[in-house]
Chains A and B, each alone.
Chain A
Amino acid sequence: MFTDAPNFDIRNYLRMEMMPHFLCPGCGHGMALRALLWALHELDIDKDKLAVVSGIGCAGRLSAYIDANTFHTTHGRPLAYATGLALARPDLHVVVISGDGDCLAIGGNHLIHACRRNLKLTCLMLNNEIYGMTGGQVSPTTSETRLTTTTPLGNTEPNFDACALATAAGAGFVGREVTRHVPKLKELIKAGLQHPGFAFVEVLSDCTEVYGRKNDMGSSAEMVMRQKSEMRPSVYRDSVDTPFRSTDLPTGILTRNDRPEYGASLRRAAALASKGAH
């Protein structure tokens, strides 16, 4: 699992003229991007056969750094664009990179219907529990009691368990991992890319500059270490007084089923219809 990858040079997969990227120091999205590119490298996916679609936000910006066919779309709609793309070009590997707000709030409807259809594409949701780019507003995954610019008294809304949502909506593959374990995350993304249906991967990432600073979570290194110390194998909460971030959620592959894939079903129906019409 922790195999060495001497041939993997991330610079082969980056748009070098765009680097260094715009992410803040210590942002977990960088590790998530490495894991994705590493997984693509290990699966030997041709860059010309790869389409990365992303929405708006910090996570949405990541597509700009990948040297492949990339598509920076409107807020919350990368799954809608990707659905069209994957149906029109079933030969492409379509990867969606989305943030927690992009995927669950603005694009929440698109997410559940993409899960329901089970179209072959891979959706990476980078969950840093906040709208970082727009100034640190509360997001659907912000843990209770956490401070944000719109919850100065602490968040009082319960947060979303995105993986449970995706499973309930019918996604074929659901997994979750933290950015601390880059090789494990890479393996999870690999498994998702190889899944024949809709693969939803939640990446628990860190927002150090906005979320960490506001909630006094220490330096970026401390936040990375916190991922390890606060990791729990199952749902576990001490008390309401001890605010836990969502890393106390189970990780790994949570759901895997072989429901029929939407694109194949649609093409079969279309073929039958065109035969019957004439």
Chain B
Amino acid sequence: MNESSIADLSGSEPVAFNAALAEPFNVLIVGVGGQGVIMVSKVLATLAQAHGFEVKQSEVHGMAKRGGTVFSHVRYGARVWSPTIAKGEADVLIALEWAEGLRWLPYLKRETGVFICDTKRIVPPFACLNRRPGATLRYSGETAEQVAAYVAEGYAIDATRMAEELGNERAANVVLLGALSTALEFPLPEWERVITQFVPKKSVAVNMAAFGLGRSWIAEARTAAPAAEAPVRPAPVHTPYAPRLEITAEWCKSCDICVKLCPERCLRLNAERVVELFAPEKCTGCRLCEWLCPDFAIRVHLDAEAVPEGITP
């Protein structure tokens, strides 16, 4: 961590409530690029450092711009040696995306670990079996209940929706920070001071509200019942369609443009050198062939398709 970034807090007395931590406290923060994983870890690291702990933080954010996985290890304590958390060693696992949370579950301490997870679902491209809207997805099918049975203390919180209701979806990570603040022993004003440091000035109010919301949500969930898991929101359902190509054979001049430029390579010229759709199951109905045909020989119709069995959007 950068020394200058904690200048604001240097005046405050280090709190010694946990100074005798024999073992470092491990927090693993995971999510998808753009969600604010790094911001959460910076807040936590700054906070811990301001309280006199030694802090080590390491992250992988290379895929962030591609919507890929991002994770950050934060370890703090009297002495910290390794910058990364070993499997089964994380005290808190905080996930900004549902499947990412499940992916990192083995890193959580089995007996005492706290799992805080946003139920937001961001489906990665490789979980899409084909590119048609509404097609079958290979996204994790585990329910919140199944996960709750696996972890010592688990919270599935719909932080993204809560932040959306506050007017800024991007504050979802601060909702989770609020949830995290209940699991750690730093005083509330310190949290708020550090968060104010890290969020843009214009959005301080909404982020403070988001923080409070996350805190109160966890408090409620603790008092209510262990079954207070928020239901996982289903992903939006698209109406599946079956593209159908209407080909005017007499107009086709075999120029090959549609065949070569089809992104799915599902067109070809037949024996009469007229275009035909030989792999209709691959066609996504993108209309590129229709647009690029100089002879207007192709027209794409998107017919409604009956939902085949087994589709779990």
Residues of A within 8 A of B (CB): 4, 6, 9-11, 14, 19-21, 23-31, 34, 180, 182-183, 208, 219-222, 224-225
Contacts and interface: CB of A to CB of B under 8 A. Distances in A.
28 contacts: A4-B302, A6-B302, A11-B296, A14-B296, A19-B251, A19-B296, A20-B253, A20-B295, A21-B295, A23-B294, A23-B295, A25-B253, A25-B254, A25-B295, A26-B255, A28-B294, A30-B293, A30-B294, A30-B296, A31-B292, A31-B293, A31-B294, A219-B255, A219-B256, A219-B260, A221-B257, A225-B260, A225-B261
Contact of A208 (B255, B260, B292): B255
B291 A34 contact: yes
Contacts of B292: 31, 180, 182, 224
Contact of B291 (A9, A24, A183): A183
Contact of A220 (B255, B296, B299): B255
B257 A9 contact: no
Nearest to B287: A4
Nearest to A11: B296
Given A20-B250, A20-B251, A220-B255, A29 B260 contact: no
A228 B16 CA distance: 63
B232 interface: no
Nearest to A65: B296
Contacts of B294: 23, 25-31
Contacts of A29: 294
Interface in B246-293: 250-251, 253-257, 259-261, 287, 291-293
B296 A25 contact: no
A221 B291 contact: no
A161 to B, nearest CB: 26
Contacts of A25: 253-255, 294-295
Contacts of A224: 257, 260-261, 292
| Residue of A14, A26, A183 ringed by the most chain B CB atoms within 10 A | A26
A180 B291 CA distance: 9
Contacts, number: 67
Nearest to B260: A221
Given A9-B299, A29-B294, A30-B296, A221 B253 contact: no
Q: Which 5 A-B pairs have the closest CB atoms?
A: A30-B294, A221-B260, A26-B255, A25-B255, A25-B253
A231 B135 CA distance: 34
A19 B287 CA distance: 22
Contact of B261 (A6, A9, A221): A221
A220 B250 CA distance: 19
> How many B residues are at the interface, by size bracket?
20 to 34
Interface of B: 250-251, 253-257, 259-261, 287, 291-297, 299, 301-302
Contacts of A183: 291
A6 B299 CA distance: 10
A80 to B, nearest CB: 29
B291 A182 contact: yes
Nearest to A30: B294
B133 to A, nearest CB: 12
Contacts of A21: 295
Given A31-B292, A31-B293, 10 more contacts: A9-B299, A10-B299, A20-B295, A21-B295, A25-B253, A30-B294, A34-B291, A208-B255, A220-B255, A221-B261
Contacts of A19: 251, 296
Contacts of A20: 250-251, 253, 295, 297
A24 B257 CA distance: 13
Contacts of B259: 221
B49 to A, nearest CB: 45
A20 B291 CA distance: 16
Contact of B260 (A11, A30, A222): A222
Contacts of A28: 294
A243 B291 CA distance: 28
B257 A10 contact: no
Nearest to A181: B291
A222 B255 CA distance: 11
Contacts of A30: 293-296
Nearest to A209: B255
A224 B262 CA distance: 12
Nearest to B246: A9
A23 B253 CA distance: 10
Contacts of B257: 26, 220-221, 224
A20 B296 CA distance: 9
Contacts of B255: 25-26, 208, 219-221
A20 B302 CA distance: 25
Contacts of A11: 296
A217 B250 CA distance: 27
A56 B301 CA distance: 36
A9 B300 CA distance: 10
Contacts of B293: 30-31
A31 B291 contact: yes
Contacts of A26: 253, 255-257, 294
